[in-house]
Structure 1
Amino acid sequence: MKRTWHQLTWEEIGQIVADGMDAAILPVGATEQHGPHMGCGMDSELAGQLCRDAAAQTGVFLLPTLPYGCSVGHSRRWPGTLAVQPKTLIDLVKEIGDWVHSAGINRLFIINSHVTNAAPLRCALEMLRAEHDGLMVALINSAQISPRVRDAHHADGDDWHANAAETALMQYLAPELVREDKLIDADDPDRTADCVFSHPVNRTSLNGVTGSPSKATAEDGRQLFEWMVTDLSEKIRMGLVEKPPLTHGYNDAVQFNKNAQSQKV
């Protein structure tokens, strides 16, 4: 069942909520350099297609994809990156959450396809759940959906980027983003294994890549994407029936038994 937010009228959204659907997915991507072999929209393409398919399988609302993310670590060495500051992303997602909550959404799944979006998105999560007591927010990083998805992403480096997994996903999902003739020379190793500090990409990569995109195939991308859709959909289904472990309100104070306390004095 497709419930794409921007295609619905306000009456339709209100009726779907009244009928019992109180959950939405927010895909968050980025626009940033992905080496010499892949288009800058890779993260947003993945977030959009992954969430589209998971929303169709679970019946939740699909919010518009955010195409800009916290990509400041990619530096200005290579053109193509369009980054926002962490505080900008925090505010933007917080305000989107405010509005969807006002429409009756009480379960918000934030699906992030760019690694360094994770910290500001977590901050937005903290702010939303503190302000809206009935709103439950999940932050799911697309490369960490499940063990098999995580293993595939990290197969050619811990600090991966534009690697075999990401390239394979685009060969399958959006082949127009991949420059096949550039793959053979695109590989660049992970140089961060013994680093204490977190360095920007201009100091860890020669060409904006970390990993082995030359090993990518569209078949690998198909298999990985199917895992991602299946495993994300399962998480969402679990979230649709989840209840808080306890029912205490956010601003509830602990009520002490005054008589019991006075007897101890």
Structure 2
Amino acid sequence: MTSLAPPDHLHLELMSFEDVSDAVASGSSTVLIPCGAVEQHGPHLPLCMDADHADALAVNVAQRLGRALIAPTIRVGCSAHHLVLPGTISLRPETFEAICLDYCTSLAQHGFKRILLFSGHIGNFPVLRDMLPRLRRAVPQDVEIDAFCDSIAWIDRWRSAVKEAGGDPNAVGGHADIAETSLMMLLRPDSVRLHRFEVGHLGALSEAQLQAMWKNGIKSVTDNGIIGDPYGSSAEIGARCLEAISDLLATSFRK
């Protein structure tokens, strides 16, 4: 007789409505909304990097928080500055906000009392920060909505994790760098094109460079779409980076 896999007790979309009802009734009233992006990640990584990252983080964070469920990942995000390179799909900020709003109001209707948003794509952070007050006003007062939007803390954790794993923290730039490449070597190793590694923009972006990137696209600061350096990447570094950000998110959401 063929044995069936046990039901999934974390991901809403793999549960039945009765499973969800029972979970909420028994105290699982926290739900995570992972957000990602489908955008270029240099010549060596697939466009799904940020969405895959969000998927993996969601499981780790839910397990750390306990009694938390995971809504389906919003896989496409705000990536207008990457549209200059083929394949990127970008939502307008108002479209992304509308999707997040509909997620939150739906989940609140079903009895979830804590709705926590985070993104594997740092480019979504400013949009999440801006929409957060409006999301909160759209749900009953007894429903808490929070979002993680601290890009500085995120990059700092990556640099520390890379260093602890024996890599070069100066190779962390935030996009298709040693951290993100290592993550994909862990999560989807067959997708990493090792022969296409290239160094991208190194060093912190100045305010002028950041503004140019938002206005004119990423090629205004890096021709190959990489900010940082993928050389030295490994699955071991990826595991350390995944744990570091999972801890950061879980700690933030426990406050």
Please state if 1:161 is matched with 2:175. Answer: yes
| Cα 1:145–1:102 shift into 2, 3 Å | farther
Supply the distance in 2 between the matched residues of 1:157 and 1:219 (Cα, whole angstroms).
16
- DSSP 3-state at the match of 1:176: helix
Q: Which among 188, 191, 194 is matched to residue 180 of structure 1?
A: 194
- Alignment partner for residue 114 of structure 1, among 111, 121, 124? 121
Q: Give 2:232's aligned amino acid.
A: K
| Match runs of 1:180-219 below 5 Å | 180-183=194-197, 185-190=198-203, 192-193=205-206, 195=208, 198-199=211-212, 200-219=217-236
Is 2:142 the counterpart of 1:134?
A: yes
Deviation at 1:74, TM superposition (A): 1.2
Q: TM-score, normalised by structure 1?
A: 0.80
1:74 to 68, 82, 91: 82
Identity of aligned residues (%): 26
SS in 1 for 2:169: coil
Structure 1 residue identity aligned to 2:37: A
When the two chains are superposed, the root-mean-square deviation of aligned CA atoms in Å is 2.5
SS of equivalent to 1:156 = helix
Structure 1 CA distance, aligned partners of 2:170 and 2:14?
39
4+ runs deviating over 4 angstroms: 150-154
Structure-2 residue corresponding to 1:44: 51
Structure 1 residues 48-67: Cα deviation after superposition (integer angstroms, max 9, x where no partner):
01102222342301111111
CA shift at 1:227, angstroms?
A: 2.3
8 Å CA contact 2:115–2:143 kept in 1: the answer is yes
Structure 1 distance, partners of 2:209, 2:80, is 20
- Take 2:172 and 2:207, find their aligned partners in 1: how far apart are those partners? 12
Supply the distance in 2 between the matched residues of 1:66 and 1:157 (Cα, whole angstroms): 28
Other-structure match for 2:165: none
Unaligned 5+ residue runs, structure 1? 240-265
For residue 148 of structure 1, the aligned residue among 141, 148, 157 is 157
Query: Could you tell me whether the CA contact under 8 Å between 2:158 and 2:179 is conserved in 1?
Result: no
Quote how far apart the aligned CAs of 1:174 are: 1.5
Q: In the TM superposition, what whole-angstrom CA distance separates every residue of 1:10-35 from its partner, at most 9, and x where no partner exists?
A: 12211211112211001000000000
| Whole-angstrom CA distance in 2 between matches of 1:170 and 1:194 | 29
Shift of 1:134: 1.6
In structure 2, relative to structure 1, the CA distance for the partners of 1:194 and 1:27 (3 Å cut) is: closer
- Following the alignment from structure 2 to structure 1, what is the Cα–Cα distance between the partners of residues 22 and 230? 46
Larger-Rg structure? 1
Deviation at 1:152, TM superposition (A): 4.7
Q: Which residue of 1 aligns with 2:4?
A: none
Counterpart amino acid of residue 206 in structure 1: D
User: 2:237 matched to 1:220?
Assistant: yes
Amino acid at match of 2:96: L
Q: Secondary structure at the match of 2:148?
A: strand
Scaled by the length of structure 2, what TM-score is found?
0.83
How many pairs were matched up?
236
User: Given that residues 34 and 58 in structure 2 are in contact (C-alpha distance below 8 angstroms), is that contact kept between their aligned partners in structure 1?
Assistant: yes
Q: How many angstroms apart in 2 are the aligned matches of 1:196 and 1:235?
A: 30
1:221-245 per-residue CA deviation (whole Å, 9 max, x = no partner) reads 1222122333433444x25xxxxxx
* Alpha-carbon distance in 2 for matches of 1:7, 1:48: 14
Q: Are 1:164 and 1:215, in contact at CA under 8 Å, matched by a contact in 2?
A: yes
Aligned partner of residue 198 in structure 1, secondary structure? helix
1:147-194 CA-to-partner distances (Å, cap 9, x unmatched) read: 5346458933786311111111111121122111112x3443347336
| Structure 1 position 123, deviation (Å) | 3.1
